[in-house]
Structure 1
Amino acid sequence: MELVGSTLTATYARPKTSHFLPAISTMSASYRGHQPSVGLTQSARDQPWRTNMYFRSSGTVPTLASLQTPPQDLVRAKTTLYPSSRAALSARYTPEDWHKSNQSYYRESESSRNSAERLRWDTVRLIQDKEQLTRRSQESTSRNIGKRINDITFWRSELSHEIDSMVGEIAALAEVKRRLDRALAETEGPLQVAQECLYHREKRMLIDLVHDNVEKEIIREVELMKSCQQRMRRHADLAAAQLASNRAAQHEMERDLSDKAIAQRIDSRCRQLRNTSDGISFHRGIERLDPSLSLPDSWSKFTDDNILRSQSERAASHKLRDDIEFLLSSTSNEMWSQFNSVNVAFTNRISEIAEAKNSLQTHLAKTLQEIFQTENLIEVLKKAIRDKESPLKLAQTRLEERTRRPNVELCRDSPHHRLVTEVREIEETMGQLRERLQAAEGALQTLVKTKVSLEHDISIKANSLFLDQEKCMGMRKTFPSTPRLVGYT
């Protein structure tokens, strides 16, 4: 039996799925929770399309049947209805529930539509804003890349200019070093000549082996040339070290220039890339910070340091070139001046030796003349002595003959006294002549010794004159010219 206003199909069972209504969109906003209804319990707020009686049998909200049917009739109806009918009746919705459910759906639909509309417009605005932001970011990135390319171009031009300057400085320093090496090689000949002069002058003999002004000047010339060679070698070593430093600075700048050329080529390619360009792809995690990357300040400072180092090396190289030029000029002047001083000393010494030799030869000639005259004198004295022998014999013979006079006739008369005086005078004369002969012979011996000494001294002077004039001055006829001493030829 059916009651009026009730149907058998009004009973609702728990749905088998967790979502009663199907989704109307694939957006995640379509799955938002429903707005809670006022006055409903937590279960009713969570599931507004279900009745309170379904979840709670002793609900406080009165049903439509209880409002329309008096309590006594309700009790009577309950007593007269079957149990199954009573259960079905207790599970029915009221019109108020129905209207509330509709209103809830209306509000939920309006809220969902408003949320969806707001989400749609916010999404459209977000897409537009992000599109503009992305475009502005790309434009800013392109501008930054362009600025970076300009910075790289500036530093490349600075590096190229500095490299050109450094290449020129290296070539100039290398040329000066070659001149220095040639000048150093040119000093070997004059040094060997000076040492040969000292060696030859050691062959002087006896009194001529003196520490004269020529020897002092030659020793000073040897010391000067050795000092010049030492300074040249020291500056050559400095030039070699400076060339190595210059080439190291050039290598660093060339490597930096090569790196900047690669970076500029990469940045230029990056600047030309577009969203539609070929070859673009995802690179996950590429935006992570790499601690090994340099900063703009360190990047510019690195190139600036390379340029400053190159400028410093170029300044040092230029100063070294000036020092080498001054050294070549000063050493050339010093060696030429000392060469002329030695030659002047040689000329003066040769003049002195020649004059002494001429004087000795003059004295030798006079000595030879005197020897000749002394020898003649000795012969004259010997002849004079021989000539006195006959008068002496005569006087002695007369005396001896007169001794034979007999008796009284043997008297000391005036002829006797005169003969005695004559004998004494002749003997005295002969004694004086012998003394003069001895003196003449002694003088002759002295003259002969003097002649030998003069001849020996003349030979010594001739040897010294030969050594200084022929040997030494013969080697010193030529000397490297000033251009050769400064390394130009």
Structure 2
Amino acid sequence: MELIGSTLTATYARPKTSHFLPAISTMASSYRNTQPALAMNPSANLWRTNSYYKSSVVPTTSSMQRENLDLTRAKTMFYPSNRTALTTRYTPDDWHKSNQSNYRESESSRKSAERLRRDTIRLMQDKDQLTRRTQENTSKNIGERLNDIVFWKSELSHEIDNMVTEIAALTEVKRRLERALAETEGPLQVSQECLYHREKRMSIDLVHDDVEKDLIKEVEVIKSCQERMRRHLDRAIAQLASNRAAQHELERDLNDKVTAQRIDDRCHYLRNTSDSISYYRGIERLDPSLSLPDSWSKFTDDNILRSQSERAASHKLRDEIEILLNSTSNEMWNQFNNANVAFTNRISETADAKNSLQSHLAKTLQEIFQTEMLIESLKKALRDKENPLKVAHTRLEERTRRPNIELCRDNPYHRLVTEVREIEDTIHKLKERLMEAENTLQILVKAKTTLEHDLSIKANSLFLDQEKCMSMRKSFPSMPRLVGYT
């Protein structure tokens, strides 16, 4: 359909699709003469708007009505705002796609709900079975605990019945024990000094590493050995005075076992239908226990052994003290060696980290240099684009001065516009890349500062571990001194 709705002498063919805009072209082939159409159809100008055309004949009533109708159609179909409203409507394809999307979403929701329902039912069943199994295992554990209490209670009762008051002389063993206890003060002070010096590490090197763990464990081992030595020393002193203390410990332990048995027996027979059950908020996070199963049984066993040693005479207690001295000396020496190995590994690891940091610092410095060169290249590239952009702008500006019909939107005009946009897009991209390069440079400079700071930290850590700590750890007591011979 030909549209004759402007003062120009050219006609434009409307494209079939609304999503395609007609190309702007001023070629000679795009111009057509409208005069033949007007000659063949004199009524073709009836629908032209009054703002551009006026009739040379006095219109009749019927011709005026037809002209108003044509004007209304022209306003509806060819005004730009009305054309835009028509092209923004949805298509039947969009309508069908929307329906299909809703169907798929509904089906997905139903499947998710069904899967959730199945999983929830299975979860409730599994958790119900797990709760029953857990309660059965707990009742079984309490029953086993009751058996242990009954066993140890019978042992304590038997030992109390067979308690004797005979005491052996432990003077020499007591003297050795006191001497070995005094020898542990030196290693304890060295370990604490090492921990104190390592607190002077800086920043990221102030870590809870294997060396610190072994040093803390070394302090704990020495203190544990001291505690056991003091305990055996107290045992020897108390046994020299009276064996009544051992009997008292046995009786007190027996009373505790009776109380524990009564409590655990009541807990063993608790059921879900019992009347005395209730909620105790936070009780599962409260741990008032003072011992573990091993230490619990060891406590009673130590009491019984103490009583048996008092009955069996002084040589059994001397044997126990001898074993104690050997075990504590071995524990302290083993832990001392473990700490030394940890020190060696940590020193090697720190030295490797320092060398790696130096390597990374060199690479970072090189990358900083290359990034700076890249920034200079980008700046030069931006400067180089100024003159081509000026040339394109100047050409466009000069061509605006062409007179009359020569002011044509020809191929050079389109090419110049494209050239300006391409150059501006190039400048925009170069500026973005320049900003990225500058940000990267800042990151590299920050990384360089971090590496230099970390290098100083590693040097300080090496000095503390290698010079301060390892030099003090050369004066650990020998094995004979730890067992109290010299």
TM-score range, shorter chain: 0.3 to 0.5
The TM-score normalised by the length of structure 1 is: 0.45
Q: If you compute each CA radius of gyration, which structure gives the higher value, 1 or 2? A: 1
The TM-score normalised by the length of structure 2 is: 0.45
